[in-house]
A and B are shown apart, each in its own frame.
Chain A
């Protein structure tokens, strides 16, 4: 395909940093540094030319050079986006945004708008990287001085401040710009405040421990994993707090320490809920202490486990009362915060969501269950039921058949298949 050939290669190639490469040891120009920062092992060559901040030819030369001297390597070829049907794509898209998706959705580009196509692309691709850590977001080094950070902020402001497109017909891009600018501003505010920046760097360092993943997903765009609750909590803590006088802070820290001691006592006597509650208050008094947060995360996970076990012991007979169902769903959601991949709980959550008529989450839960235990027939049945409810007959049929293949005694799946046939008949009659 001629269109997919660049200077000397396939534009679909996905580039990643070579494992032994240490980018900080290289003498790069600012432009090269920016291009390098866009390389995340997921963005294809074609896109790197567009979002790398250089002319396409320059970017080609640069990338070819790095490829030649082993700084970067080819990770694979970008494939066409898989689309099964509308519902599916939407669900996936929503999920992927949070996970730092790096593929630009060309369907969002609108030639009717009073906004250059190139600018639209730039906005869309920048938006995809919004969840990166602040250093990458602003394209500054970890060691950058405040004045460099300010310069980067000014530069991005000039590009993304909503006032640049005042009164122009830019459709949904107005919201995108606002989102981008706010995020850039947040990064600038935090990185230009020595205390907050130190806190951020500390949180980054803590991130290595699996349980306490911070809000700052890896700059290289790997999915941050579905540790949504931690991300959320941490991110909220990281947002600029309002200023409190120093003497009040000292007093609060003291109270926090006492609460923390109390929490330890409760924990030792097995009162996990009380312990978590005390730690929460401690955190509200002193939100900078990483130890408190670690303890809270640990406690919450243990409480959720306990709740989950109790719940699983209760069996599957849910009352059909919707208030009761909602309560069950809430508990299941809580459990999922800590055990996001557990297929059994996802399956239950799907069932309850379906009973409540919440099809979108039901689909997500059912898919997750199938994804993590494709060998279990009843999970396919559940997914089939969800598809059936959303009138996606084709997929429903496929899932029921898969379920029966795995477990020929699955009554639900059989019933489902039968009702699909019935549905088709009545539809035909109705038509």
Chain B
């Protein structure tokens, strides 16, 4: 039996882990680091660089270095998130043939699953080197708020990396698994996950190895990088005031500022003040200029206070959804490097009335949990069961453009739910079933997953026919929908294929290309 790796495919850093002798362990990369930057670049001489190597060239070659591709994966080019990234990123983002964002570096265009796939391949390689055996199976984590397309694209990334993705699980859920696998008794825990690019909060209940998700909430566009951006913006306007030079259009300066901001932010988690020193950041007729600024924790907290408070809104919503009060939470688990920030710790402590759990490493706990789930699936000895849930509500569009939810988000799977619908016109002979996913009460605002027509309804006054619409999600998360006329027994159904931004052919082609590239490398 091959071992299953757990991969935390992060916005900024990725981490891989495996269960050894019943215990999940993080696998260090060849440089000895337990996390690897989720970065991919093409060097000036055309070499492909992943991880730390890519990060190293980010400053000098920022146009050809991709970071935070996770923010783009599975989104539409026209979405506000992608448009925002286009404004922020030094690398070029172009419109793909499937209306998906693609990344153009080193004269070549990459799809987002391809970039994630290259990073996953690197994680796979790290694991294989450490284990001394080939690795095939993986559990990969995604933010709880990832929709179906984003999940499917992440799966495709796994395929491109040569991995069989056994499951995609939510990051906070993974953290809870890692925290809870060794614990006895009943506990309700909150997982506060402030990562580089996303914020997730989940409330879970666990009892003797069974983990149940009670509620999740979050924000897909809020994370540590927002704090970095606040610092960069602060530095840019300070520099403009002090030196009269606007750095906003200088990509190399911005990249240096970003790195410095991130570092300063981390420093300030440990001390009260830190120096930001960036020599030769700009130059004008008077010669070179240097940026030299002392950032204090107070100033930083003033800059980002509202962002942190913003997370608490989601927390409150989540606690309410779980039907609990903050005091009923037994333990708070912090995930993501950003949670090391004293301001975050304080905000969480104030809200829950207890200090967060100290026993887990926020950078590693998600990958550890992914490995735990992998081993729970394939290893009979592992006494852990995750009662996983569906991330978004599923339903159909009804008369007047309303969205009728049949399966609410956070419903445990596998599950079948049915409801009876009827016709809206006299002698209506057919109904169109439009299968949607999303949280809006307005059908048009949700994602269309598929549609079909149930015809041959017996002529009857409106409101009389009984049409049973049934949603089924199987253990592997595959959704099928059927509609049945209870009077005639006539039935129509579809299996909802997860929509990826890539077709199977495209994936095959990418895999082939990558293999070619691997051969070239070795040769």
Contact = CB atoms under 8 A, between A and B. Distances in A.
Contacts of B419: 236, 239, 241-242
Contacts of A289: none
A421 interface: no
Interface in B184-210: 186, 205, 207-210
B404 A242 contact: yes
B283 to A, nearest CB: 61
Given A178-B475, A280-B464, A158 B414 contact: no
Contacts of A161: 385, 387, 475
Contacts of A154: 207-208, 210, 212
A157 interface: yes
A243 B210 contact: no
A5 interface: no
Interface in B449-470: 461, 463-464, 466, 468
Interface string A210-244: 00000000000000000000001000110111110
Nearest to A154: B210
B376 A163 contact: yes
Contacts of A37: none
A162 interface: yes
B416 to A, nearest CB: 5
Nearest to A188: B412
A52 B438 CA distance: 44
Interface residues of B, number: 38
B210 A158 contact: yes
Interface string A164-177: 10110000000000
Contacts of A164: 385
Contacts of A241: 419
A349 to B, nearest CB: 15
B463 to A, nearest CB: 4
Contact of A242 (B208, B210, B405): B405
Contacts of A237: 420
Interface residues on A, range: 20 to 34
Main secondary structure of the interface of A (DSSP, over half): helix
Given A182-B414, A242-B419, A281 B463 contact: yes
A236 B408 contact: no
A151 interface: yes
A254 interface: no
B344 interface: no
Contacts of A150: 205, 207
Interface of B: 166, 186, 205, 207-210, 212, 376-378, 385-387, 395, 404-406, 408, 412, 414-420, 422, 461, 463-464, 466, 468, 474-475, 486-488
27 contacts: A151-B207, A154-B207, A157-B385, A157-B387, A158-B208, A158-B209, A158-B210, A161-B385, A162-B475, A163-B376, A163-B377, A163-B385, A163-B475, A178-B475, A182-B415, A236-B419, A237-B420, A239-B418, A240-B417, A242-B404, A242-B405, A242-B406, A242-B419, A280-B463, A280-B466, A281-B464, A330-B488
Interface of A: 147, 150-151, 154, 157-158, 161-164, 166-167, 178, 181-182, 185, 232, 236-237, 239-243, 277, 280-281, 284, 330
Given A150-B207, A154-B210, 4 more contacts: A163-B376, A178-B475, A239-B419, A242-B419
